[in-house]
Amino acid sequence: MLHIGIITLFPEMFNILQQGVSGKALEKKLVQLERFYLRDYTQDARKTVDDRPYGGGPGMVMMVQPLRDAIHAAKKKLGEDTLTVYLSPQGKPVYQQQMVSFVESKKPLLLIAGRYEGIDERLIEQDIDQEWSMGDIVLSGGEIPAMAIIDAMIRLVPGALGDETSAKQDTFEDGLLEYPHYTRPRTLESLDVPEVLLRGNHRDIIRWRLKHALGRTWLKRPDLLDKLTLTSEQIILLQEFIEEL
């Protein structure tokens, strides 16, 4: 079972995960999601969660005491071996293989969704194991990246997807983008479904799909190909794709 905690000022945002694949996994208890509402850890009547930055400047910083108490309470509940992650545009961008490895590790995960200008640097030093980013964009809070990460992890939990092989074929799983998909009708305007997919020869279909996975990775994300050592069969298929193009 995947055990994930999330510290947030907006716990209701995570209701979105009750839909679709993640919703079914939550229902089946393949994943346990615990929301820690930051205001529950405040000590004043106004439930203050922000504070002024030393040195001045625009914006507020997340107040240290409630966040620190929330982190400690969450870690106590999730367990000693919890990986504590602060969602931040300054973190390392997340990637699929990292999601796979984390789900396989079966460790509990604590995600901290920042708001305002972010969190006190000393909390990052003391209480945070890693900083993860959704990419080089700045969002107004860590909730959306947290939901994206939770969703990506949930679909990797055995039993979460209808067809277990489906996640294995996804883009990034083998370092390549996934091959193109087609469904009915056979002809759309003047565009036909590739003949090989209609003939039913399984070996030919596998070969065609690998060739096109290689080809579209070459076209759309050559940086991914640079990270791979292609087999001689893959080199031939990619060459074929380039020549046909």
Is 13 a binding residue for ligand SAM by CB under 6 A? The answer is no
- CB of 57 vs ligand SAM, minimal distance in Å: 10
Which residue among the candidates 35, 131, 155, 209 is catalytic per the annotation? 155
- Is 85 exposed, middle or buried (CB count within 10 Å of its CB: 0-12, 13-18, 19+)? buried
Q: Interaction with ligand SAM in 127-186: which residues (CB under 6 A)? A: 133-135, 137-142, 145
- β-bridge partners, 56: none
Which residue among the candidates 12, 117, 164, 204 is catalytic per the annotation? 117
Q: Interaction with ligand SAM in 79-118: which residues (CB under 6 A)? A: 87-90, 113-115, 117-118
- CB of 19 vs ligand SAM, minimal distance in Å: 22
Which residue among the candidates 53, 89, 151, 178 is catalytic per the annotation? 89
Residue 120 vs 179, nearer CB to ligand SAM: 120
89 is annotated as an active-site residue: yes
- CB of 90 vs ligand SAM, minimal distance in Å: 5
Helix runs in the chain, H state only: 20-27, 64-78, 96-105, 121-127, 143-154, 164-169, 196-199, 202-220, 222-226, 232-244
Contacts of residue 148, Cβ cutoff 8 Å, sequence gap at least 6:
134
Q: What are phi and psi of 33, to 5 degrees?
A: -110, 120
Radius of gyration of the chain (CA): 22
Residue 38 vs 237, nearer CB to ligand SAM: 38
- Is 38 exposed, middle or buried (CB count within 10 Å of its CB: 0-12, 13-18, 19+)? buried
Q: Which residues are near ligand SAM by CB under 6 A?
A: 87-90, 113-115, 117-118, 133-135, 137-142, 145
* Residues with active-site annotation: 89, 117, 155, 170
